[in-house]
Amino acid sequence: MSTDTLHIDTASRIFGDHCDKALLDAAEAGEFPQALCQVLADNGFLQLAMHDSGFALADAFAVIRIAGRHALPVPLAEIMLANRWLNQTDALATVGLAAGEKITAAPWATQAKLVVGVSELGADAIVVRVGDVEQGANLAGESRDQVAATASEPLACGSDEPYELLALARTVQTAGALERVLELSLDYAGEREQFGRPISKFQAIQHNLAVLAAEVAAAVRAGDAAAAALGTPRQRVEIAAAKARVGEAAGVVAEIAHQVHGAMGFTHEHRLHHFTRRAWAWRDEFGNDVFWRRELGAHIASVGADAVWDFIATRG
Amino acid sequence: MLQFDQVELPAAAEALRAQVREFLREQAAQLPRPNSDFGSGHDPEFSARVGAKGWIGMTWPKEYGGGERSFFERYVVTEELLAAGAPVGAHWIADRQSGALILRYGTEAQKQQYVPPITRGESFFSIGMSEPNSGSDLASVRTTAQRTADGWLVNGTKLWSTDAHRNHHMIALVRTEPLGDNRHAGLSQLVIDLRNDGAEIRPIKNISGHEDFNEVVFADVLIPEDRVVGEPGNGWQQVTSELAYERSGPERFLSAYRVFVELVRLVGDTPAPHEADAIGRIASHLMTLRRMSISVAGMLEEGKSPEVEAALVKELGNNFEKLVPEIARMAAPLAAESTDFRRAFTDTLLGSPAFTIRGGTREILRGVIARGLGLR
């Protein structure tokens, strides 16, 4: 990973300045955040994963985690990776799942000229020119459209495994969202008073927040480890472990956070749900916990009991 | 916010890993235990061999027999020994906390007397913290040491002292001044010679049927003046720092490791989907916990005191240790004839209640984490 963290600081500032509740609500209501997308383009974020960007791929994933922290309503990971594989930034391109003649679950296909379709089966990807679009959304209200192609051709992604990289993107996005959920929960517990004192002073709440914080720490560490394994022979198994671990954390963290927030956090007016709903949605995109656990488990079984420790202890 | 940095083990630590594995291959006859729990294999001869390799007191000054090596190197040796199921229990406490405590707070004479034999794997320590009425509320200990012309006169009872009936010494937390307004004041730590001072040691059978922990009764036990570690009255601060060493290591998530390995063996190389799921789930936790523990080793190496981070790793790690047999039993039929898996499962499950009690209960750890989050 680059020791230069300027891109992280810049991302935190820009994402934080723009991602207010009004923008998130508007995006979830179907309004594409054009102005923000232009800011991201102007600051080079959409090109960050390209081969000639001057950044390591892990740097792009560090920014994607920041995007998760802010529930960035632009599909930054998909745009970054589409630009990487298409080696272009002229037209807005995103990524969905290849499904026969169509592509499904593509964010903001209405805005895109090109959509990349990836498959869990391996490196084969396609790129399509966008025809009719049937708009849809995931449970977080994020755009997930179905695309009919006017033209389609195979897309060579070099040594990349597209589905893996998208799974890693969701992993670090989720870790970022969970970090924000922890912050919101700590703030709320400190502000909300019942029985004459902040609820953070009650041991039951403290213990729940401790569990929440531990799961968040595990999620962040798992995501970082997987990003650090990019380009190594361990990439696939590390992403598998991280996606599974973060998926498990997401459920625990969202559940406790909503319990701590009480009815307030159940309102649309509160911003908590922008992060919890995304964590709930992202854990099931590009392979849920079980998909990746089976992948990892089958690999370990093939390694065998006598070599399993060597597998576990191979990398710090 | 709590942060666990991405840390790669340095090359020196990885080079050491190969040496530990070579050693373990030579010791294979000592390793057929049914579990990987740090506390359940007490073998003085094995500990002496580990000491001869220079793998006890690895981070301590050479002057006292230590290795002046990094916390990363210590981490690697520790995890390799545990994963192999090596019987490390005899020297474990001395290596992990007692020796470090004496080096930090002890007199020059104490360092010279106690530390070199620890590093040789010849001197073994037990913990003397809990009492019949003092567990998580450690500051409430009632064992007293009264200063007399001939030394300290100790009265009271220590409880749950693992291997006190096998080890040489105990570091006991005792009250040396009457309880005042500040309950953390007036506590001190004394080195007890378990074999010669006249303490009465009674093993207590646990739910596995093993006798590992003990009740240690002091009835007018007189010990020499020079056995107090650090300043009399400073015991609370010392014991708190001792607990930080106790909480972050790989022994806090590897106690059930053997169940995982035997599950992999039982399932074979073509697992059914639910079997692969179980193995993958365990591995996803294990790989993450290991990275977090290495992050804490990095904090220790930088001279930090990661008490909160250590508590967090122990909280997650202990829960994981309890989760492993629960996941495994759903994936593998236990009714089958006696297998290595069944032995590992049974032994680990019966030991599992201790995982979230020893070294600080789950409830205490969550309190430490909450304090670190600024909630109390």
Q: Class assignment of domain B248-372?
A: mainly alpha
Q: What is the mean pLDDT of residues B267-280?
A: 96
Domains detected in chain A: 6-155 (no CATH), 162-312 (1.20.140.10)
Q: Mean pLDDT score of chain B, rounded to an integer?
A: 94
Contact B365 A210 (CB under 8 A): yes
Q: What residue has token string 């190969």?
A: B18
Residue of A213, A241, A304 lying closest to B2 (CB–CB): A213
Q: Which residues of B148-160 are buried (b: 16+ CB within 10 A; e: fewer)?
A: eeebbebebbbbb
Interface contact A59, partner B, CB < 8 A: no
- Exposed / middle / buried, residue B254 (Cβ in 10 Å: 0-12, 13-18, 19+): buried
Task: Give the closest-approach CA distance of A9 to chain B in angstroms.
Answer: 17
CB contact under 8 A, A241 and B288: yes
Q: Is residue B104 pLDDT above 80, yes or no? A: yes
Tell me the nearest-neighbour CA distance from B333 into chain A, angstroms: 17
Per-residue pLDDT for B246 more than 80?
no
The residue among A124 and B110 whose pLDDT is bigger is B110
- Residue range B211-226: average pLDDT? 97
Helix (H) or strand (E) holding B78: helix B71-83
Which amino acid makes up residue A230?
L
Q: Is the pLDDT of residue B266 over 50?
A: yes
Q: Give the tokens for residue B369.
A: 């984490």
pLDDT of residue A121: 80
B366 near A CB under 8 A: yes
Task: State which H helix or E strand residue B124 sits in.
Answer: none
Confidence of residue B40 (pLDDT cuts 50, 70, 90): confident
pLDDT in tens, B113-150: 999 999 999 999 999 999 999 999 999 999 999 999 99
With 50 as the cut, is the pLDDT of residue B267 above it? yes
B205: β partners: B211
Other C-beta atoms within 10 Å of B185: how many?
Answer: 15
Residue B66 has pLDDT above 60, yes or no: yes
Rg (CA), chain B: 21
78-97 in chain B: CB under 8 A from chain A = 79-80, 83-84
Q: What pLDDT score was predicted for residue A1? A: 42
Residue with the bigger pLDDT between A2 and B314: it is B314
pLDDT grade for B291, boundaries at 50, 70 and 90: very high
Residue A2: pLDDT band with limits 50, 70, 90: very low
d(CA B366, CA B155) in angstroms, rounded, equals 33
- Asked if B277 reaches chain A (Cβ–Cβ under 8 Å), the answer is yes
CA-nearest of A61, A44, A62 to A53 is A44
Q: What is the mean pLDDT of chain A?
A: 96
Out of A1, A248, A308, the one facing B261 most closely (by C-beta) is: A308
Interval B198-207: pLDDT, tens? 999 999 999 9
Size of interface A-B (CB pairs under 8 A): 169
Minimum-distance CB partner of B292 among A211, A217, A242: A217
CB atoms within 10 A of CB B142: 14
Pseudo-torsion of CA A203, A207, A212, A216, nearest 10°? 110
Instruction: Quote the pLDDT of residue B337.
Output: 66
CB contact under 8 A, B269 and A245: no
Task: Check residue A189 and give its pLDDT.
Answer: 98
Q: Which two tokens stand for residue B94?
A: 């001395």
Of residues A316 and B162, more confidently modeled = B162
Work out the burial of residue B337: count CB atoms within 10 Å of its CB; fewer than 13 is exposed, 13-18 middle, 19 or more buried. exposed
A121 touches chain B (CB under 8 A): no
Q: What number is the average pLDDT over the span B51-62?
A: 98
- CATH 2.40.110.10 fits domain B127-235: yes
Percent of chain A scoring above 90 in pLDDT: 93
DSSP string covering B127-166, please? EE--BTTBSS-GGG---EEEEETTEEEEEEEEE--TTTTT
Q: Which amino acid is at A44?
A: G
Distance CA A97, CA A86 (A): 16
The CATH class that applies to domain B11-123 reads: mainly alpha
pLDDT at B296 over 80: yes
Q: Is the pLDDT of residue A3 over 70?
A: no
Q: Chain A: nearest CA to B184, how far in angstroms?
A: 22
Contact with chain A for residue B350, Cβ under 8 A: no
Per the CB < 8 Å rule, is A214 touching B316?
yes
Comparing CA positions, the residue from A144, A158, A75 lying closest to residue A104 is A144
User: What are the DSSP calls for A80-98, one per residue?
Assistant: HHHHHHHT--SS-EEEEEE
pLDDT of residue B338: 67
Residue B249, sorted as left (phi over 0), alpha (psi -120 to 50) or beta, turns out to be: beta
User: B159-182 pLDDT, tens per residue?
Assistant: 999 999 999 999 999 999 999 999
**A267 by DSSP, 3-state: which?**
coil
Q: What pLDDT does residue B335 have? A: 63
Question: What pLDDT is recorded for position B31?
Answer: 78
Domain boundaries in chain B? 11-123, 127-235, 248-372
Q: Give buried/exposed letters for B118-136 (b at 16+ CB in 10 A, else e).
A: bbbbbbbbbbbbbbeebee
- The CA-to-CA distance between both ends of chain A, in Å, stands at 15
Q: Does residue B6 belong to the interface with chain A, where contact is any CB pair within 8 Å?
A: yes
Distances from the Cα of B214 to the Cαs of A21, B160, B170, B194, in angstroms?
59, 5, 12, 12
Say yes or no: A88 contacts chain B, CB-CB below 8 A. no
Interval B297-351: pLDDT, tens: 999 999 988 999 999 999 999 999 999 999 999 998 776 666 899 999 999 999 9
